[in-house]
Chains A and B, each alone.
Chain A
């Protein structure tokens, strides 16, 4: 790509390649957005053309939105090229609306973007003024006045409507707004009138934020970016402390926390931890983040440091107030919960498991592994299969998928006497069985063969649990499987 030739981006619109974006040089040479690519090439043969890539554009806009999260958590995308920030109640943190606008514009300009910005009381007004009146800050209720001189294109309406305005001689927003509402509704339908009302601050439409808003949040801004692990954790702890007192007032505890790290150069990293029970201790929060940060596959890269760290509670739950208990059992239970949370933060909650009984007689489904963080006492009891005094009837280790076994010799009653499993031949010395287990036909579309289970002890005293898939009247050639190994 030569630096001297003008650069344009072409996209397919209505089956024709048209310019969707052009650089400054191309604009100076007379190209315009929306022009067919063939015309542009005819005017300027030395043209660098790039294919439009909408997903990439969107991704970039998302990244910019991430960066803008530092100003407010209410950030919405307005594709293809606009971001809406709800800064209600925010400007004083940045030294006023003007200073806030400057910080946003300067920050993005430093990153190499061309930015236009405006602050107004409604979404369309802010959008229109950003495009047609960069730097405008509309005072309260001043939308109609600020919009009046803008061309009608600023209203972001259908091209057909805009054309109709032009034909009717309405060139500015002010001229359109001056017409009677009944007249406009009759000519352009009420959607357009609503859009106009909305733009001028006569009708309300809320902003829909990009990500769900947290129940609670606290943040810490740094004049000098911070980068060390210890400072980051200490910051998280003090933020957690602040959140904890808020939560305490409302009788709530944190179940899910998200830390957002805003790097000075614009990159934003979000890291979440979850807890099994509502939590309010800042030390515990700090420890969970320590575990999580330690175990990250791609560690936190502070670069030149973070200038903002925000901690939000994305899920809060009712929690009884924590009394420093003298009850030993309660303390032990709390310690276990903390351990489970820690292990889950480090290894993932799907890897810290506890067992729960399951209401089925299918052996491999008789229990389920559930994440211990979310496990609650089961209403079902654990019921042993064996009678008192008997040896176990279920193996301690179950193969996730039953493994094929070649039964080399079968006795009367279909008892396996010699079998090969994992290339080793075992001779049965004791066999107990069969224990016949019918599959749950009502759960399956096709008929499942009945299983005959045998407990088999080989010549070395090892005990296995084998089954024959299908009883005689179901199958002529039964297959055998190893379900598990006894302890």
Chain B
């Protein structure tokens, strides 16, 4: 009798933990990628996003979309080095809005260097009211090492605030990240219309599964990643009068 009781209790505890864990994984929306990630990105963990050189804009977009998905309704803190605005441009509210992300949800922190960025990140990760912290680091400062990544991992796990380390002009190095991505803008092989932003996302490291490589398109209307060229994505191609039609463009190219 006693044993059955204990068993039942254990079973319930297990189910709860499982539910919690499932809840802690946030699906990206892209079916194959979510399957590879065993359900989605783990919220209380560190995720690294590297930009293929020249594709910083794309990596930034991927990071923003992922951060907002992870954050849900909560706020996102974006930590940026001061000079990044000159190098890669300032983060724009209208750009977020056009991606279907709410600019009012974002807090932007400008810091001097990597050390300050990490200091701010570990403080912010302790604030459970935040949904995600994006740490944008340019280059390979000494401060970003194995110890730093461990600290971010622990910080993210403590309160379940996702940590996204966005690395521009940098190569992967040893870390304790849950996932590591390499992002470039997707260039479709054939000529198509001007579609939604799409990324060639390479999952280089996946602590709970296999690496993978997918083309993901960001659907800002529904706030999900999806297969590139998913049925509805290119459906609405409006042709406002203020720009040349595809035919005119074709002609233009011939002239050139």
Q: Which residues of A are interface residues toward B (Cβ below 8 A)?
A: 331-333, 335-336, 338-340, 342-343, 346-347, 351-357, 363, 366-367, 369, 372, 382-400, 409-413, 415, 417-418, 424, 429-436, 455, 457, 459-463, 484-487
B238 and A390 contacting across the interface, CB-CB below 8 Å: yes
B103 and A355 contacting across the interface, CB-CB below 8 Å: yes
Q: How far is the CA of A378 from the CA of B205 in the complex (A)?
A: 42
A396 and B123 contacting across the interface, CB-CB below 8 Å: no
Tell me whether A333 and B129 are in contact in the complex, defined as CB-CB below 8 angstroms, given that A352-B109, A417-B252, A485-B89 are known contacts.
yes
Tell me whether A357 and B93 are in contact in the complex, defined as CB-CB below 8 angstroms, given that A388-B236, A392-B98 are known contacts.
yes
Can you list, as one digit per residue, whether each of B186-200 has a CB less than 8 Å from chain A (1) or not (0)?
111001011111100
B236 and A390 contacting across the interface, CB-CB below 8 Å: yes
Q: Can you name 24 A-B residue pairings with CB atoms under 8 Å?
A: A340-B107, A346-B120, A347-B116, A354-B106, A392-B95, A392-B197, A393-B98, A394-B97, A395-B95, A397-B89, A398-B95, A410-B256, A411-B256, A430-B194, A431-B249, A457-B187, A459-B187, A460-B185, A461-B58, A461-B184, A461-B185, A462-B55, A487-B58, A487-B197
B195 and A391 contacting across the interface, CB-CB below 8 Å: yes
A392 and B109 contacting across the interface, CB-CB below 8 Å: no
B110 and A336 contacting across the interface, CB-CB below 8 Å: no
Q: Which residues of A contact B188 (CB under 8 A)?
A: 461
B64 and A487 contacting across the interface, CB-CB below 8 Å: yes
The 10 A-B residue pairs whose C-beta atoms are closest, nearest first, are A487-B61, A461-B187, A411-B252, A397-B89, A389-B236, A392-B98, A396-B95, A367-B93, A485-B57, A355-B93
For window 38-88 of B, CB contacts with A under 8 Å fall at 54-58, 60-62, 64-65, 74-75, 77, 82, 85-86, 88
A-B contact count (CB 8 A): 225
Tell me whether A415 and B252 are in contact in the complex, defined as CB-CB below 8 angstroms, given that A397-B60, A398-B92 are known contacts.
yes
Shortest beta-carbon distance from B33 to chain A in Å: 18
| Interface residues of B, dominant DSSP | mixed
A462 and B185 contacting across the interface, CB-CB below 8 Å: yes
Partner of B90, one of A340, A385, A400, A415: A400
Q: How far is the CA of A412 from the CA of B106 in the complex (A)?
A: 41
Q: Which residues of A contact B111 (CB under 8 A)?
A: 347, 351
Query: Total interface residues on B, using CB and 8 Å?
Result: 75
Q: How far is the CA of A331 from the CA of B58 in the complex (A)?
A: 35
Known pairs A336-B107, A412-B251; list 7 more (Cβ under 8 Å).
A336-B127, A363-B94, A398-B90, A400-B85, A418-B256, A429-B191, A461-B188
> Nearest B residue to A412 by beta-carbon distance?
B252
B197 and A463 contacting across the interface, CB-CB below 8 Å: yes
B244 and A415 contacting across the interface, CB-CB below 8 Å: yes
Judge if B96 is at the interface, Cβ distance under 8 Å: yes
A412 and B220 contacting across the interface, CB-CB below 8 Å: no
Q: Which residues of B contact A383 (CB under 8 A)?
A: 97
Q: How far is the CA of A41 from the CA of B130 in the complex (A)?
A: 75
B92 and A397 contacting across the interface, CB-CB below 8 Å: yes
Q: How far is the CA of A486 from the CA of B59 in the complex (A)?
A: 10
Q: Which residues of A contact B106 (CB under 8 A)?
A: 354-355
Q: Which residues of A contact B3 (CB under 8 A)?
A: none
Q: Which residues of A contact B163 (CB under 8 A)?
A: none
Tell me whether A486 and B197 are in contact in the complex, defined as CB-CB below 8 angstroms, given that A347-B116, A387-B238 are known contacts.
yes
Tell me whether A411 and B249 are in contact in the complex, defined as CB-CB below 8 angstroms, given that A336-B129, A396-B91, A460-B185 are known contacts.
yes
> Nearest B residue to A399 by beta-carbon distance?
B89
Q: Which residues of B are interface residues toward A (Cβ below 8 A)?
A: 54-58, 60-62, 64-65, 74-75, 77, 82, 85-86, 88-99, 102-104, 106-111, 116, 119-120, 123-124, 127-130, 184-188, 191, 193-198, 218, 220-221, 232, 235-236, 238, 242-244, 248-249, 251-253, 255-256
Q: Which residues of B contact A413 (CB under 8 A)?
A: 244, 248, 252
Shortest beta-carbon distance from A450 to chain B in Å: 13
A487 and B60 contacting across the interface, CB-CB below 8 Å: yes
Partner of A396, one of B54, B57, B127, B243: B57
Shortest beta-carbon distance from B77 to chain A in Å: 8
Q: Which residues of B contact A346 (CB under 8 A)?
A: 119-120, 123
Q: How far is the CA of A355 from the CA of B106 in the complex (A)?
A: 7
Q: How far is the CA of A462 from the CA of B194 in the complex (A)?
A: 12
B253 and A411 contacting across the interface, CB-CB below 8 Å: yes
Q: Which residues of B contact A399 (CB under 8 A)?
A: 86, 89-90
Q: Which residues of B contact A461 (CB under 8 A)?
A: 58, 184-188, 198
Shortest beta-carbon distance from B229 to chain A in Å: 13
Tell me whether A396 and B109 are in contact in the complex, defined as CB-CB below 8 angstroms, given that A367-B103, A382-B97 are known contacts.
no
Tell me whether A487 and B94 are in contact in the complex, defined as CB-CB below 8 angstroms, given that A339-B130, A434-B242 are known contacts.
no
